Structure 1
C-alpha cells in the first residue's frame, strides 16, 4: 500500500487506539507515533442492548463495540476539522466492522485503505511491514 507523506495510520482494537503519521514518502514509509486522542467509548451500537440479560451476558463486547464507535467518531471529527487529509485504518476484524458503521462520508473520501488485522501492541516495524505487504 502506498502511503503519501503525512498519512495518518490508526491502529485499533476494542480497547486501544494508537495513531501514527508517515513522515517518509510513498516509497519509504517511516511511521512516527502521535499523541493519543481522546476517545468517547460511551457509545453503544444501535444493534446492541443497553443492559445485560441472560441471553447476552457479555458486557465486555458492548464496551469494545462502544470504543470502536468512539474511535470512528473521533476520526470523523478530525477529518471534518481538516486535521487528517489521508488515512489508513488497521483494526481487529470485529472492531473494523463496528467502525465502518460510523464512517462519515468525508472520512470515506480520504480513506486510502483498511487492514483487518489486530496490530495493537505491535512494534512500529511490524505495522510498517503489514502496510508494505498490503
Structure 2
C-alpha cells in the first residue's frame, strides 16, 4: 500500500495507541514514533450495540476496549480538524477499527489515505512498515 512521505500512521488496539510518521518513500515506508498519547476512555456508549448479556458473559465484548477506540478517534478528529494531521493511515485490530469508524469526523475521513485491519501494536516499527508495504 502506498503511504505518502510524512503521512502519519495511527497504530491502535483496545488498550494502546501510538502515532508514527513515514520518513521513507511511499512504497518503502520508514516509520518513526511521533507520540504515544495517554487517553481517558470515557465514551462507554461506544459499545452500546455490543452490550447483550451473552457477549458480556462470554467475554466477547470489552467495553473498555471499545471506549479506547472511541477515545482514539476523538483525539485523531481533533488533530485532523486543527490541521495537525493532513494525511493519515489507521492500523487497528478489526473490532477496534470498526468502532473507530463509527466516530470518524468528516475531516478525518477526508485525510485518510488507508486503513489496515491488523493487530500490530506490539510489533517493531520495521515489521509495521513491512505490513504497510505488503498491503
TM-score for the superposition, normalised by structure 1: 0.89
Q: Secondary structure at the match of 2:64?
A: helix
How many residues of Structure 1 are paired with residues of Structure 2 in the alignment? 132
Determine the C-alpha separation between the residues in 1 that align with 2:60 and 2:131: 31
After superposition, where does 1:24-63 map in structure 2 within 5 Å? 24-44=24-44, 45=46, 46-49=48-51, 56-57=56-57, 58=59, 61-63=62-64
- Residue 39 of structure 1 deviates from its aligned partner by 1.9
Task: Answer yes or no: is the 8 Å Cα contact 1:23–1:31 preserved in 2.
Answer: yes
Q: Report the Cα distance in structure 1 between the residues aligned to 2:12 and 2:23, rounded to whole angstroms.
A: 20
Cα 1:55/1:23, change in 2 over 3 Å: closer
1:72-123 per-residue CA deviation (whole Å, 9 max, x = no partner) reads 1000000011100000000000000000000001111110000000001101
1:3 matched residue in structure 2: 3
Quote the Cα distance in structure 2 between the aligned partners of 1:113 and 1:27. 13
Deviates more, 1:110-119 or 1:52-61: 52-61
CA RMSD, Structure 1 to Structure 2 (Å): 2.0
Give me the TM-score of the superposition, normalised by structure 2. 0.88
State how far apart, in whole Å, the 2-side matches of 1:106 and 1:47 are. 25
**How far off its partner does 1:54 sit?**
8.1
Unaligned runs of 5+ in 2: none
For structure 1, the 5+ residue unaligned runs are none
Question: CA separation of 1:60/1:78 partners in 2, compared to 1, >3 Å: closer, same or farther?
Answer: same
Whole-angstrom CA distance in 1 between matches of 2:128 and 2:7: 14
User: How many angstroms apart in 1 are the aligned matches of 2:7 and 2:92?
Assistant: 16
Report what 2:102 is aligned to.
101
Identify the residue that residue 121 of structure 1 maps to in structure 2. 122
